Structure formats: C-alpha cells, structure tokens
Amino acid sequence: MRDAYKDIFFGIALFGISLFVLYWLIPVGIESPGAIQNETLAPAFWPRIIIVALAGLSLLVALQGAARLRQLRAGGPEAEPPATIDLLSEGKALLAILLLFAFERVLYWGGIVVPSMLAIAVFTLFYGERRPHLIIPVAIGIPVVLYFFFLKVALVPMPLGVFENLIP
C-alpha cells in the first residue's frame, strides 16, 4: 500500500513541478527573439513539448497509484513484497548514469550522430538485448533519421564533431 501512496505523491509532485516549469521557468528562462515564422524553431518549443509530456506522464503515475490503492482497499492482494534494496539493480542504475555523463562528454568531440549510435548500442546491450540483427539497425537508424529530420525538416543543423566531413 505504501508504494501506491508513493506513486500518488510522486505523480502529483512531478505534475506540480511540470506546471511550475511550463508556466514560469520556461517563459522567464528562455529568451525568444520575438515573432518567429516557424514555431518549431522557437527556442522554447521543444522544452514545452517535453514538459507537457512529463506533466501527462506524471498524472498517469498518480492515477495508477490511485487505482492500485483502490484495488488494495477493495480487498485485492494485500501482501506486498517487503521493500528491499537490490544492489545489482542499484549498481546498474549508477553505471547507466556514469555512462550518460561519458556520452555527454564525447558529444563535444564526436558530434551528435556517431556517439548516439554507440550509446544506443551500448545501452541496448547493457539492458539485455543480444540480437545484433535488432541492435545494429536501431543503433544506426534512429540517429540517422533524427539527424535528417532536424537537418531537412526542422532546418536545424546538428553538430557532427570530427565526423563533419563524413556525413552529408
């Protein structure tokens, strides 16, 4: 039952933070150069999209917690497993965070596309996928598709780092 309360609290708190960011932090913290013809090129456009998605997901977490709480109160399964610390999972999470910091550092040297390919492959392997016929196309395809989307559709050039001359 405690996990249901945690989900409700976490969802509501995250929703409140999302509203704060959406209605105060983004308008105050992101400068916009006046009238912009293409809304997707506005500096605050993508942060707003991400925060609205975060707000929706946080409400979903709170609603799932409320549904679980209602089920437990109605006589559903009462025995919850005791809260224990899984050192392997905690270690994997810590290693994933360290890998993300390393990825952020490599971005300055290698640009966006090639380090993203490597990061997707590493994290896919890290979390258990071992089929190369799935890993390779996904690791190459997603960064390339996103690169061309931003380059051709959104008209935002992506930094390529030392690979500037290799990718058109």
pLDDT, tens digit, for every residue of 12-25? Answer: 999 999 999 999 99
CA terminus-to-terminus distance, the chain: 55
83-87 long-range Cβ contacts below 8 angstroms, 24+ apart: 83/2
Q: Could you tell me if 41 and 155 are in contact, meaning their C-beta atoms sit under 8 angstroms apart?
A: yes
| pTM (predicted TM-score) | 0.60
What tens digit of pLDDT does each residue of 119-152 get?
Answer: 999 999 998 899 999 999 999 999 999 999 988 8
CA distance 84 to 94: 17
Q: Is the pLDDT of residue 79 over 60?
A: no
Which of 96, 124, 111 shows the shortest CA–CA distance to 150? 111
117 and 150 belong to one structural domain? yes
Q: Each residue of 101-113: pLDDT tens digit?
A: 999 999 989 999 9
The residue from 42, 73, 104 where one domain ends is: 73
Q: Of 20, 43, 73, which residue sits at a domain end?
A: 73
Pick from 25, 50, 73: which residue ends a domain?
Answer: 73
116 pLDDT exceeds 60? yes
Q: Which of 50, 68, 67 is nearest to 14 (CA)?
A: 50
Q: What percent of the chain has pLDDT over 70?
A: 94
Number of structural domains in the chain: 2
CB 107 within 8 A of CB 163: no
Residue 74 above 90 pLDDT? no
Q: Are 15 and 58 a contacting pair, CB within 8 Å? A: yes
Is the per-residue pLDDT at 4 higher than 70? Answer: yes
Range of the domain at 58: 2-73
Per-residue pLDDT, 77: 58
**Alpha helices by DSSP H, 21-150:** 26-29, 45-73, 87-110, 113-126, 132-148
User: Residue 55, Cα to own-chain centre: how many angstroms?
Assistant: 13
Mean pLDDT of the chain: 88
- What confidence tier does 157 reach under pLDDT thresholds 50, 70, 90? confident
DSSP 149: I
